[in-house]
Every structure is written in C-alpha cells, then in structure tokens.
Amino acid sequence: MTPFDQSAQLQAMLDVEVALARALADVGIIPATAAVDIETAAHSDRFDVSALHADAERAGNVAIPLVRRLTELVAAVNPESARHVHRGATSQDILDTAFVLQLRSAAPALVAALARVMISAAGLARTYATTPMPGRTWLQQASPTTFGLKAAGWLDLLGRCRERVNQAVDRALVIQLGGASGTLAALGDGGPAVVETMARRLGLGVPDIPWHTLRDRFVDVAAALGTTCGALGKIGRDLVLLAQSEVGEAFEAPESGRGGSSSMPHKQNPVRAVAAVAASVRAPGLVATMLAAMPQEHERAAGAWQAEWSTLPELITLTAHSAEATALALTELTVVPERMRGNLEVRGGVAMAEALSNALSEYMPRGEASSHVERLSRAAVRTGCQLREVAAADAVVSQWMTREDLERLLTPEQFIGSARVFVDRVLQRWGV
C-alpha cells in the first residue's frame, strides 16, 4: 500500500468520516453512541474498493458510494446511528481532507530522499572543493571550475527545494469541511466548533474558510514538487553529461545488472540520472495541469477539481522516485579527478584562454587582448599544440611573459578563484 493507491485513499476517507463523527459527538450534535457505531463500522476490510470505484464512475466521485456503504454498515448495527453518518459534510470535504492525510503520509519519504541527495552532494562538495575540472558553458569548455563547486550548486538548489516542499506541504495540511455550499449550514451554528474539533483530532490546521474551489495550497505543493523535479533534472543532466564516454569524469558505479544493454555488453548506462531527467520532462506538464485547474466554478468545479485527482498524486510519486534515484546516483558516484584534469588539456588547453587574456589586458586594451588570445587559441586547436606553447612562441606575448610565467599562469589550479569560499558558504548554509 503506497500513500496514493486506492486502498490508502479508502482508509484515509474512513479516517475522515470517523473524525467527523467523533467531532460531531464532541460538540454535542450527534450522540456519542453514533460516533462509536460509525467508528466500529469504518473498517476498510468491509469495503470493496473496486466496487466503490465502479460506482464512482456513475456517482461522480468515490465518496458518494463510500458514504452509502458506510451508512449501510452502521444501519445494520444501529439504524438510529446511521442517521448521523457524514452529517453536515459534502463529498469534497471527505475527498480533500483524505487527500491531505495522504499527502502528510507521503511527504516524509520524499523529504528524506531529498535530504540524502543533500548529504551526498555535500560530501562531494567538501571532498572536491578545489579539484579543477573544465567549466562548461553552452557545452563548450570554458574556464576551469571545481567539481566541489558544481556539487555545492546541486546542494544549494536542493536545499531550497527541500524548504519549498516542507513549507508547501505544511501550509496544505488544513482540514476541508464546508458542507454542500461552504457555509456548514446543516450544522446550524455549530460548524466552526466541529471544524476545530475535527481538525484537532486529525492533527490538521483550521482554515479561515472552506476552500473547495480555492486550490492554491495544492498548487503550491505541485509547484514545489515541479521545481524539485527540475532541480533533480539539472543534477541528472549534469551526471549524464559527465558520464559520456568521451568525458568520463564521473559515472554511476558499475553494478551487476544495472544499466546494461540487451545488445551491447560494454554498456554502463546512467540509469539513475536518467530517471531524474525523465521526471523533469514529465513534471512541467503535471504542474501546468494543476495551474490550469485553478479557475474552479463557484462552490464546486465542473471538471477542474476532477482533473486534480490523478495529477497531484502522480506528481508526488514521480518526485519521490526522482529523489530516490538521484540520491543513489550521487551516493555511489565514481569521480575521476584525473579525467577532469586531463580534459582540461584537450583542444590545446584553451579552457585557460581567459586567464591569458586577463593577464595580457594589463598591457593592452581588453578587447585587443581578447582578439589576440582568440587567434592564439585557434592556432593551438589547429596545430594540436598546447596554448602555453603557442603563447610562449608568440612575439607579442613573449614581450611581457616568459615560458615560466605562462606555465604558472595557465595552470588550472591557479585559476579557480573563489570556488572554495563559495563551497564553504553553501556547506555552512545547509549544515550538512
């Protein structure tokens, strides 16, 4: 039973009906015995989930046949108590509050997976804080960065995502109880007291007003999840790119049976990173659906609410899966610092061109320095020599710099700027 399968939903709905009955009894609207009878009848094994869902197709939602069946079960024991089943509530009260309970059940595993991603990213950031590797912009080698700085970026991103998810879920943990049109008229003056008692029993917050067609809290959850999928997708895409055969700077640890191919024996596919990328392709459409479902008509929507039913559970499941996969990918990541260092030498080591241009601009206008280094870089690429060789042989450069100067200047370890400062800040921020 996962938090969003039909059995879990059934149990959550029954929990809501029981809490309602208990609250009605607490407030004195129904007899205590009725609440007891309802609680006694409300056992999920007395309900046929498939039959309820078949009936839901005709009824319009699954709460209607559930209430009918629950009433029958109570009536079989005590007809008087049956009068009090679902008293004052409307179907959406049950479905929305049940969903809130399911959300509360599902969140911890997701948040824990995000925490594992953070811990792994923090470990990488710490270990490789000053390990140079090619920076890559537009997928072209740029000036060097460090692998720790890249991992710190992942950590920072995920840290904010975990906060988002926690905050959005917290804000969404409010009860829904408004009755047919949101006034709780069927409870006379007792509505607010029932809401508060029932919320306390369920451990949920009390909203100022029923929110049958005010769906922003659920949309917040969706947005936080979608953003998290996007963030995990960024990590996943970086990992896939680093694992390319021609790059080989980091890859998912080989393990028997994982990431193989049905035709190619040498394959080691980045299956976990790819799961995160795939989730990031799917999430935007699901979030868009939740946003598109916001303009819900009057007191109960004719289509938009119904569109939420499978969308938000799907998005939660998807995000949790993506977080799990990413946590595993990072935890067991094989990092190859020597490949990172070696890749800085490909294409004549032109990744260091900025450092040279920077130094030259002490002696000539910046634009002129840049153009000159651009020419040297192309020569390096064309001839297959290293940029430092080409520069050392260049009449202009050699006016001001010796071969030793250039050797020192074009050492990636010397050109990682404030990478460590940034890494340390991020580690401190998230305390992992």
CA 319/CA 227 separation, integer angstroms = 10
Active site residue 282: no
68, 237, 300, 347: the catalytic one is: 300
Phi, psi (rounded to 5 degrees) for 33:
-65, -35
261, 310, 371, 418: the catalytic one is: 261
Residue closer to a copy of itself, measured from CB, 106 or 229: 229
Residue closer to a copy of itself, measured from CB, 363 or 407: 363
**Shortest Å, Cβ 422 to a copy of itself:** 4
What's the DSSP call for residue 179? Answer: -
- 318, 349 in Cβ contact below 8 A? no
- How is residue 48 written in tokens? 């046929």
Give residue 96's identity as a one-letter amino acid code: D
Looking from the CA of 185 toward its CB, the CA atoms found within 13 Å total 4
Residue closer to a copy of itself, measured from CB, 63 or 323: 63
- 346, 384 in Cβ contact below 8 A? no
For residue 126, the tally of other CB atoms under 10 A from its CB is 16
CA 153/CA 125 separation, integer angstroms = 9
**Shortest Å, Cβ 51 to a copy of itself:** 13
HEC states along 123-167? HHHHHCCCCEEEEEECCEEEEEEEHHHHHHHHHHHHHHHHHHHHH
**Shortest Å, Cβ 330 to a copy of itself:** 16
Nearest to 219 by CA among 157, 280, 169: 169
- 311, 282 in Cβ contact below 8 A? no
**Shortest Å, Cβ 243 to a copy of itself:** 7
**Shortest Å, Cβ 137 to a copy of itself:** 3
CA 193/CA 35 separation, integer angstroms = 16
- How is residue 417 written in tokens? 């700027």
- 357, 401 in Cβ contact below 8 A? no
**Shortest Å, Cβ 91 to a copy of itself:** 4
CA 123/CA 172 separation, integer angstroms = 33
- 46, 39 in Cβ contact below 8 A? no
Active site residue 261: yes
Nearest to 331 by CA among 124, 56, 28: 124
**Shortest Å, Cβ 106 to a copy of itself:** 18
- How is residue 319 written in tokens? 């995000």
- Point out the residues that are catalytic: 261, 300
